[in-house]
Amino acid sequence: MTIAYFDCFSGISGDMTLGALVDAGVSIDTLRRELLKLDLGGYALTAEKVLRAGLSATKVNVDLDNNEQPSRRLADVLKIIESSALSSAVKERSSGIFRRLAQAEAAVHGTTLDKVHFHEVGAVDAIVDIVGAVVGLELLGVTAIAASSVNVGSGSIQTAHGTLPVPAPATAELLKGVPSYGSSVPFELTTPTGAAVLTSLCSVFGPQPRMKVERVACGAGNKDLPRAPNVLRLMIGEPVAAYDEDSSVVIETNIDDMNPQVYEYVIEKVLREGAQDAYLTPIIMKKGRPAALLSVLTDRSKTDRILDIIFRETTTIGVRIRETGRMKLSRETGEVDTVYGKVKVKISRREGEILTATPEYEDCKRIAEEKQVPLKTVLEEAKRQFRSTKS
């Protein structure tokens, strides 16, 4: 699984997204070849390294052959995408982003999807930005996307509808339910195109998730702002779980009429059968009768066999079963050389850090008997040797 984290501390736009993807390793030549699959002309795609407030970033430019571009409706844009030779996944995601953008435009202008004229967002550069972003993420093998809270900037902008506040109405509509904030920067930091791409593809918004970052990239915006780098930062890597997770089945029964000596036999038998754990808890039942709660933790696949043992070997006539989640430290087995012989050590880690290291009891017991030394001495020696190898 490859995760992409968009750090939108200076907002997000279509060209910033393309710049970040190219900075992360997407070949501009490959991007051009993929976009040529669209029946779309009148532009040139270029990339250059720039500085934004002293920070190196990649600026991707969609240079139009002329400033006059046709006003397109949603159906026109979808036809261009669907009739292309792009992969089905790219076509589906790109079309979904444009539909979301059209829905936002229709909502803020009080019209219907079929009547929405995209104006500036429907121009060639927006189609290139949106399809290019989806293509770039596919080329990088990204399978999950997360993002920070979104900085929208402040002030006002000039549009085909006149002077509008920042964030633009369509941007504000797209960011519903997404953490966003204004800033003292008097500039439109987040555009409708950037908001549409982000909110259509991103599944989680908040702090950077646990991940092993492999690449850090920056996509530049048009202006070099005086107080902060006008860039979109992109981090790509693999997610790192703090704990291993799985689920188990808990089988429990109350027993008050069985010879207590049988419990040891039953517990040993279910453990040999593959139960993860088995234990007793003293309980008091009705009328003050002392009893034992027998609990067995097992994989679902072994449930029937464990039940057979419990019903055959104990006096119970019924059990309770529930599924429970488990969170575990990752585990591995190592070995240390002690003055008494080799001892296996069970090692538990969290995110690579060793939290516990326990000598294997049966190894230490066998060595203690063979060498005629106290068991605690063998245990302590194994721990000491392990610590010395990790220091």
Place 3 in a pLDDT band, splitting at 50, 70 and 90.
Answer: very high
Amino acid at 363: D
- Asked if the model's pLDDT at residue 210 lies above 50, the reply is yes
| DSSP state letter for 68 | -
Asked whether 292 and 314 are in contact (CB, 8 A), the reply is: no
Place 118 in a pLDDT band, splitting at 50, 70 and 90.
Answer: low
Q: Sign (positive/negative) of CA torsion 89, 92, 98, 100?
A: negative
Asked whether 222 and 11 are in contact (CB, 8 A), the reply is: no
Q: What is the pLDDT, as a whole number, of residue 201?
A: 95
- Asked if the model's pLDDT at residue 343 lies above 50, the reply is yes
Domains of the chain: 3-239 (no CATH), 244-328 (3.30.70.1380), 330-390 (3.10.20.300)
Find the range with the poorest average confidence among 135-139, 143-147, 224-228, 231-235: 224-228
Question: For 286-327, how does the pLDDT look when each residue is reduced to its tens digit (9 = 90+)?
Answer: 989 999 999 999 999 999 999 999 999 999 999 999 999 888
Number of C-alpha atoms within 13 angstroms, CB side, residue 112?
3
Q: What is the pLDDT, as a whole number, of residue 336?
A: 93
Residue with tokens 């030779």: 85
Q: What is the pLDDT, as a whole number, of residue 391?
A: 63
pTM for this model (two decimals): 0.66
Mean pLDDT on 119-131? 78
Angle at 149 between CA 97 and CA 182, to 5 degrees: 100
The H-assigned helical ranges of the chain are: 14-23, 28-35, 74-82, 88-109, 124-139, 169-174, 192-201, 261-272, 303-313, 361-371, 375-390
| Cα–Cα distance measured from residue 70 to residue 228, given in angstroms and rounded to the nearest whole number | 35
Asked whether 278 and 295 are in contact (CB, 8 A), the reply is: yes
Residues in CB range of 386: below 8 A, 6 or more apart: 334, 336, 345, 357, 359
- Asked if the model's pLDDT at residue 161 lies above 80, the reply is no
The percent of residues above 70 in pLDDT, for the chain, comes to 97
| Cα–Cα distance measured from residue 190 to residue 201, given in angstroms and rounded to the nearest whole number | 16
Q: Sign (positive/negative) of CA torsion 311, 315, 320, 326?
A: negative
